[in-house]
A and B are shown apart, each in its own frame.
Chain A
Amino acid sequence: MGSEGAAAGTHTEGGGSVKTAQPSAFAVFSSLEGTVECIKLLRESGYTSLEVFSPVPDHALRDAMPEKESPVKAFTLSGAILGFCIGWGITLGPLGNFSLHVGGKPLESIPPFAVVAYICTILFGAIATVMGFALSVRLPSTRLVVGYDPRITCDHYGIHVPCEPDEVGRVMTLMKMCGADTIREIAKG
């Protein structure tokens, strides 16, 4: 365990320095229970705008830090509705211009056009889902959060707490109490 002092707004992996609007503290934990304990302690102490990093999604973390539901489903639904309309649009729309009877079937053949609408519903729903995800998490991003620790992708957990300059010391003490492996102070600027 140990504090590494101030890392003034630069990040080694993302390429380029990052300006931080607010000073913050970043702690790295080697266990899940320590991370959960620290989240609870920080939230009880009034630090609610914290960000947690983990190698896998975990129910214990989600329970410790309840968040709003993801808006991705709204994108999925919108994309699917758009796709449904496009599917019917490309089949029924041009009938006036291409009124050619084929195979003895009526021009407005609903069953085959429903197949096209179904495929377009799925296609546009899926594209909108991925777009919704990318927009929600602001990906792609060329920079990682200031103070990010590469061990997080493997088996460590991270907590990032933006706070007022005079509260950084207190936050770091709380993190230390919960058994943080590494604590970094991220200076403003």
Chain B
Amino acid sequence: MNGRLTYATTDVDLLVTLRKPGRGYFLLVGFLIVLVGVGALAWMNQIRTGIGLAGKNSPVGWAMYITTFVYWVGIAHSGTLISAILFLVRVRWRAAVYRSAEAVTVFAVMTAGLFPFIHLGRVWVAHWILPIPNFGGLWPNFRSPLAWDVLAISTYFTVSGMFFMLGMLPDLAIARERFKGWRKKVYTLLSLGWQGSSGQWRHFTAAYLFLAALATPLVISVHSIVSWDFAMSIVPGWHSTIFAPYFVAGAIHSGLAMVVLLLIPLRRSFGLESYITMHHLESLAKFIIFTAMIVGSAYGIELFMAWYGGNRFEQSLFLYRAVGDYWWAFWLLMTTNILAPMLFWVKKIRTNIPALVTICIFVEVGMWLERFIIIVTSLAHDYLPSAWGLYRPTLTDSAIVVGSFAWFFLLFLLFIKLLPSVSMWEVKEQLPAPTQKEAAA
């Protein structure tokens, strides 16, 4: 961070994001609301007409919805990695970027959480999965990874949400003192009476540390559990012990790319280059190289095990992925997920904004396609050739998926205008405390 920054300039500079938005912001919000509306209409039509409107079929019973669900859960992971894990290991550069990353987590889980309901078809009986005593003579089957998934995702949302709001308390108190009118009332309410007393800080730092410690295993466990939705079955291409670490690495890979994609316009739009510096973006790019290499190794191990394991169903499936009906998606994901991030080894590329944006978009496309390939090809090409089939997206499921992206970006746009998107108190912690000399000056 820039050496000229002080506690006072930090507040002024970082609260600029909360100022009255311009015309461009409203146009973008309006556009996203239209897309969300189209997605919502498509879902309503699907509920009224039937799940057949989505392209899923027999044998491909899990398709775009579950692909997009896994994708959004994955996106959620980088937030907790940056906010909790990097906090525990005292990485200083996280201070300026973690709030946005946490927002990505919360909004991505909110978006992911919609898809099991959309996928269910009969959404009005969704509560059957919940452990409600004496309800309809049913009790969830806790031996099923699907039941674990419900618990894991709802726990992740609850813990991430609490961590997000707790870390924001001191900043909401700053906003309370700087604004007037309705904003002051809202921030007064949200800051819960925070005033920065020694007692409050003592309990706050303890609670923050313990929440970080509790959130950290969730980064590993949530996507492991999501991967077990597949790995616990006997479908070729799914029944694999490597799935949990493979999914976790992929999740962090896509999540980091999403954080970069959101931070770049944020720093540019509000002139936050002194706070979200090239060093932050470069550090994230280096992280992406690391996750790309883990994901690349996982792809290699999967292919090797299919060949070396000698199971002909596995061999047939992996050959199908590479040269079958969805070959283009397979090779595109290999290129965008592994080869493209390798360009970040070159300093000139990882410190170049257009290159960063382009490669991170590639990673997002690649990670969505990775889930698509895992889910669709395994179901389309399992044990019996007579049961093989194809999946093609329809207008309904495409509109819902596009609507989910619009929903996520809409939430993020609302967040940056309503809540402090860079943690002021943690940025201040990185700066020298006010001295008598400065005060006299």
Contact = CB atoms under 8 A, between A and B. Distances in A.
B207 A116 contact: no
A144 B198 contact: no
Interface residues of B, number: 63
A162 interface: no
Contacts of B158: 123, 126-127
Interface stretch (B120-128, B189-197, B341-349, B396-404): B189-197
B416 interface: no
Interface in A143-176: 143-145, 148, 150-156
Given A30-B439, A139-B194, A123 B7 contact: no
Query: Which bucket holds chain A's interface residue count?
Result: 35 or more
A58 B196 CA distance: 11
Nearest to A121: B214
Contact of A133 (B166, B173, B439): B166
A56 B429 contact: yes
A9 interface: no
B210 interface: yes
Contacts of A152: 195-196
A154 B177 contact: yes
B183 to A, nearest CB: 14
Contacts of A126: 158-159, 162-163, 211, 214-215
A54 B198 contact: yes
Main secondary structure of the interface of B (DSSP, over half): helix
A144 B195 contact: yes
A113 B147 CA distance: 11
Nearest to A34: B436
B141 to A, nearest CB: 5
Contact of B198 (A53, A125, A129): A53
A52 B139 CA distance: 53
Given A57-B205, A130-B162, A122 B218 contact: yes
Contact of A72 (B193, B210, B425): B210
B206 A144 contact: no
Contacts of B433: 31-32, 56, 58, 60
B32 interface: no
A154 B159 contact: no
Contacts of A140: 192-193
A139 B207 CA distance: 13
Contacts of B217: 122
A150 to B, nearest CB: 4
A119 B199 CA distance: 31
A39 B15 CA distance: 31
A115 interface: yes
A184 B177 CA distance: 19
Interface string A72-93: 1100100010000000001100
A122 to B, nearest CB: 5
Given A122-B159, A153-B173, 9 more contacts: A32-B433, A52-B197, A112-B142, A120-B151, A129-B207, A144-B195, A148-B195, A153-B170, A155-B6
What 6 A-B pairs are tightest by C-beta distance, nearest first?
A: A141-B193, A155-B7, A133-B207, A70-B206, A30-B439, A140-B192
Interface of B: 6-8, 11, 131, 133, 138-139, 141-145, 147-148, 151-152, 155, 158-159, 162-163, 166, 170, 173-174, 176-177, 188, 192-207, 210-211, 214-215, 217-218, 221, 225, 425-426, 428-429, 433-436, 438-439
Interface of A: 13-14, 30-34, 51-58, 60-62, 65, 67, 69-70, 72-73, 76, 80, 90-91, 94, 97-98, 102-103, 105, 109, 112-113, 115-116, 118-120, 122-123, 125-127, 129-130, 132-134, 136-137, 139-145, 148, 150-156, 179, 181
20 contacts: A14-B193, A53-B195, A54-B201, A55-B428, A61-B198, A70-B203, A90-B131, A98-B139, A118-B221, A119-B151, A127-B158, A132-B203, A137-B200, A137-B204, A140-B192, A143-B193, A144-B195, A153-B11, A153-B177, A154-B7
